[in-house]
Chain A
């Protein structure tokens, strides 16, 4: 047994250590980012919704502290880790909205090889863009169907109690504010957006444009408050979409 016999191991062991360290560091960094996000948006959700997170309805509602624990430990009830690069959050319990689904997608910091190949594919094939870090929130509105979805209201309807509620119904349409760079991909990838025409609007910053089915709708939707919010969000905004049509072309 000579030291020379272990040359290979001298290379392999540091390599393994490197991979492990990279993985731990990368996934923790992603967790930290997710936590930062929920730390910033959690209070907003908490203000608007009765029930934030996955634990189910709490009878004694306490304010959740989204920043508790080490910086990479997630407030597990509010935001969950679906994979090291995907995080999901959920909120419900609000007038007009059945629930909100939120998904945070991050680059795979913990696996630089995969990250590199994903980016390379993005350059070569236009149809498979490199994954970007993004937050997707989908708000599922009641559209007048609370009676079918909310248990307490369903019971009230069954018992014949009067339902005084401002209707959450609204006329169906497709409307969006999108970042010009994302526009082509969104229009090609989504059936509902393919029904719209694209027009710039003076009230919006240069990088943004409006996809709408009718000018009247745009006039109603484009409130000064919205314009301000879009401006303050900046070019990080990829798209804000209101739609009553499915994303993929329906077959029937």
Chain B
């Protein structure tokens, strides 16, 4: 009897240690910045993600019903304000269009490098991550729709993150709120570089900003275009707090993302489409067409 108990104890200890070692080995090999999906994970995601999607769509329809038919307070006033804003924006778009044409001409003259254009895939956010340690969102588009790993994800307001995991019909986004997501940032006013990563309470922080840099609260941070994931010029956030300690060579910068993650419903995934044609030839062709 005692021998049996000792044998059982040894078996328990052995199993614990073996499984723990396998888990620790897996942890050492695991990359928290991207996830290659296994067949089994794909099967589970493809089974349950449609239910997540259905629930989110239903919630959207209920919210829309209440907003459009029940809570129609101040609708006319809001309508007038929005019409005026649209007119102003149309004017700005026209002016920017002219600036864009001039930019292309000047780039052609300066014989700028290879241009990369992006395909845009619109997706809906259907669920979030079950863990509180990672800030991940699930969207309803996958490899079947052309989504690729490490594709940047944006909205009209700014940067959301990049594609972390892809299955056939669904993908997971590692957002900029996650400490594992590091974005090469640029403070547009001072052209100061730094690394933006997730912090706490839906904010980010920018590291390696030299303490002598004249940054102020309210400065906008965009992507710098380095690091091979995010294209240049996408808004990331606005400086919310700056702390300078009495020692050290850097300052501690906290920023509020320009994207409202509390109300994020739709995102755009940018899929890189490398332009193999020599950009000079393309620019010249564009100029010729404009002249005609």
Asked if A pairs with B, the answer is no
